[in-house]
Chain A
Amino acid sequence: MGVLQDVSEQIRKDGVVGFSLKQLDTFITRVTTGMNWNDLRALARGDEPRRPNPRLQVHSESFVFHIKPSYYHESVTKLTHTFRLGLLSTYFFFLEIITGVFLMIFYAPTPERAYGDMLKIMSGVPFGEFMRDIHRLAAEGMVIVVTLHMVRTFLTGSYKKPRQFTWLTGVILLLATLFMSFSGYLLPWDQLAYWAVTIGTSMADKAPPPAVGNAAKLLLLGAPSIGANGLLRFYLLHVLFVPLLIVFVFFVHYYKVVRVGISLPASEEEVGQDTAKRVPADKRRYYLPDIFTDEMMVLGVVTFVLLAMIVFNIYPGAPLEHHANPNKTPLHTEAPWYFLWIQGLLKLGDPTLMGVILPTLVFAFLAIIPYIDFNPSRRAKDRRVAISLFMVALAGFVVLTWMGTPHFLVESPPAEEVVQLMLPEEKAGPVRQTEWYKLTVGEWDTRSDNATASFELQKLMHHYAHLIEEEHAKALEKGLEGLPNGYGKMIIEDWQPGLKKVTMRVFWTGKDGTEQTFEKSFYIHEEAGYARH
């Protein structure tokens, strides 16, 4: 009764509208943990807060905000100091969780279902393909952003005392991020996934001594090769174990960052000093509203760009190749781009040394950098050695990445290579990208003008002839015999309603003077839609 009387008393005093507004204001104050409507308006307009400052109360009352410092040193808030890369790393991780949970709903990690579930996500789930694209793009984005964040903290010397441990936890986060991408790679259970991960796990096998390597691989796969057990383990690592690890290590990492403060630009401090934590009152930039709105803007714009890249096909879309097939090794197996450098190393020599020991040393070296760099100065001009080392490492990374691609030191028979370039096992390739009905039925020969073929097919045949010459020249360069007197045929048959059979046949003169051939057939359906993807 008392409450009701109170309420009617209030309404009598303020009127219904006034009373409701007051109630609303109370509500806002509760939600924001301390700021009422006028405080919010003042915040948005950039006015000074009232006293006592309700914005600081938000930091002490709200869980989310208590993680953030209530003010920063003015000098570290410039976009060009951190590029907000730590924030972006965190954000991409959350984006992955949200889109990942969406995908989880429609996905079961078994060899019988996984691939079919991917097809269903892309063809039967509204926004399914969109979510999958975001998940894939943000995963690659996260690898890039985390790496750039490391580069920035290296270049600003922010790993030095007192931030050594921050850096060390950062290296763990980098490894976890890479492993997230790698374990996610297997889940679609297509050829791309299967073979990239086969290479990856065969490296675990190579870890010395053999007993340890073998045990590591068995532990990862639950069997000598990838199968139902391996898929389940990768799935659990991907959706549960590694994310939890990242969350935990992130909090350690970020706690350190907040404790010691973000490092000031080196030029603003004496060498060997660290004044990040003592921020003079006139240098303070408060999280509310300055940094908060900076962050909102950065995240908003980044998300918009990310989505736009997908919607306008600037990002070509998450790939999906044929169903995983252990009996069919692709002509080229390429690791995801961020591991190409390891694949490049592998081409240089012994897999144990190049594939396991060296990469391990690289990451171990990264981890201990703060503990072996005794140079107290964070200024670039005092850090010639460190920065030169960085340049060398960067160049090495770029070169090794290139060496990891099939362009370097891969010797597949040239005729097979030609066919692969015309009609790859996976992806589209020029023949599939030609409109289906322009593939005129008939037997076509690169040596003739193919006058009765469609114009598009004639162009294809020219391209075919050109590829034979090119692969011949490349083979000669490598000292192989190549394709002397090489020519090619393309035989196109109507096979079924909407289905054509295309046979590629490459001819050349062998060492003994006899004609050699290589042949491969493909089936192309009118509606396969390769060109569009």
Chain B
Amino acid sequence: MRNIMVKLTTSLFAVLGMALLVVLVGAGEEARMATREANFEARAIENGAAIFAENCAGCHGIQGKGIPGVAPALNSPEFFKTRLQEVGWQGSLRSFIESTVNAGRPVGSGQYSAKMATWGQEYGGPLRPDQIRDVASFILNWEKQYVAVAAATPTPAPTPTPLPPDADPVTIGKAVYQAQGCAGCHGVPYQAPAVVGPSLEGLANRAGTTVAGQSAEDYIRTSILNPNAYIVPQCPTGPCQANLMPQNYGQILSPQELDALVQYLLTLK
């Protein structure tokens, strides 16, 4: 084609058309992303349902209503309303479920004949992290049943107050401790007893003398980043085991969070 102007105009229109398409996509992005998120959460619940039927229903009941003497109900109003306070878990219900399923509960409350096994692959169980998330999504989905009943008297959900950026490190550290589910194993010092890992009460007093050559701060930092470096002799239910405490906090925690966490643990005298 000889006519340069025609070609340039066509190119220009193509570019304008592209820009229009991009704007079109951009305008719908917010809604599309929300839909996708709902889709993926829904699919997680679908997957979770299958995982639950295959692995958990035998003890917890097909509909999660529990089997007396075998395993507790997960599909009950108490589980969604009061269970966290009962065990003194400061994190979310999701983190409680995920940690319990992941690490299991090697030492049960004694009420049940069975033991809640360790399911997470990272602790030698059969389920991948995404499967644990999915089964937690499935369990959490039962909550809607109870919310629907309670909706008549709406109580505003307690939204965690975001910490001011200039909060002192100990406050932040305490929040990190709760958000990361440390309480699931170590309890909440001076409030709720430890279950799996050693109680951290009085940690600051002994940390400086536990490992020769390590200051209290170094010891605590090492204990979090590399739990196997030193295995504490005594846990609530006998000798502590290696490989039980997650090994990946170094990747999960930001340096600031880690510092704050150490500062907080140093106050446990």
Residues of chain A at the chain B interface (Cβ within 8 Å): 43-46, 112, 115-116, 119, 122-127, 129-130, 289-290, 293-294, 296-297, 300-301, 303-304, 307-308, 311, 322-323, 495-499, 501, 521-529, 532-533
Residues of B within 8 A of A300 (CB): 10-11, 13-15, 18
- Is B29 a contact partner of A45 (Cβ separation < 8 A)? no
Residues of B within 8 A of A521 (CB): 50, 53
Q: Does B151 contact A (CB under 8 A)?
A: no
A413 to B26, CA, bound (A): 46
- Is A311 a contact partner of B11 (Cβ separation < 8 A)? no
- Give the residue name and chain of the A residue nearest to B146 (CB): A497
A524 to B45, CA, bound (A): 9
Q: How far is the CB of A363 from chain B (nearest CB, A)?
A: 36
18 new A-B contacts at CB < 8 Å, known A304-B21, A527-B42: A44-B5, A46-B4, A123-B37, A123-B40, A297-B7, A297-B8, A300-B13, A300-B18, A301-B10, A307-B22, A308-B21, A323-B131, A496-B45, A526-B42, A527-B38, A527-B41, A529-B36, A532-B35
- Give the residue name and chain of the A residue nearest to B37 (CB): A123
Residue in A129, A307, A501, A526 with the greatest tally of chain B CB atoms within 10 Å: A307
A289 to B99, CA, bound (A): 66
Q: How far is the CB of A111 from chain B (nearest CB, A)?
A: 8
Residues of A within 8 A of B46 (CB): 499, 522-525, 528
Residues of B within 8 A of A527 (CB): 38-39, 41-42
Asked if A529 meets B38 with Cβ closer than 8 Å, knowing A127-B25, A311-B24, the reply is yes
Q: How far is the CB of B138 from chain A (nearest CB, A)?
A: 7
A301 is contacted by which of B14, B35, B128, B138 (Cβ under 8 Å)? B14
Which DSSP category, helix, strand, loop or mixed, fits chain B's interface? helix
Residues of A within 8 A of B29 (CB): 126-127
Residues of B within 8 A of A311 (CB): 21, 24-25
Q: How far is the CB of B108 from chain A (nearest CB, A)?
A: 26
Q: How far is the CB of A76 from chain B (nearest CB, A)?
A: 15
Instruction: Show 22 residue pairs from A and B whose CB-CB distance is below 8 angstroms, ordered by the A residue.
Output: A46-B3, A46-B5, A112-B129, A123-B33, A129-B36, A293-B4, A294-B7, A296-B8, A300-B15, A304-B21, A323-B47, A496-B45, A497-B142, A498-B42, A499-B46, A521-B50, A521-B53, A527-B41, A527-B42, A528-B42, A529-B39, A529-B42
- Is A529 a contact partner of B35 (Cβ separation < 8 A)? yes
Residues of A within 8 A of B168 (CB): none
Q: Does B17 contact A (CB under 8 A)?
A: yes
Q: How far is the CB of B224 from chain A (nearest CB, A)?
A: 20
- Is B18 a contact partner of A322 (Cβ separation < 8 A)? no
- Is B49 a contact partner of A495 (Cβ separation < 8 A)? yes
Residues in B208-262 with C-beta less than 8 Å from chain A? none
- Is A499 a contact partner of B45 (Cβ separation < 8 A)? yes
A307 to B14, CA, bound (A): 11
Residue in A526, A529, A532 with the greatest tally of chain B CB atoms within 10 Å: A529
- Give the residue name and chain of the B residue nearest to A323 (CB): B130
A297 is contacted by which of B14, B38, B50, B130 (Cβ under 8 Å)? B14
Residues of A within 8 A of B8 (CB): 44, 293, 296-297
- Is A124 a contact partner of B10 (Cβ separation < 8 A)? no
Residues of A within 8 A of B142 (CB): 496-497
Q: Does B94 contact A (CB under 8 A)?
A: no
Q: Does B148 contact A (CB under 8 A)?
A: yes
A492 to B3, CA, bound (A): 66
Q: Does B81 contact A (CB under 8 A)?
A: no
- Give the residue name and chain of the A residue nearest to B46 (CB): A523
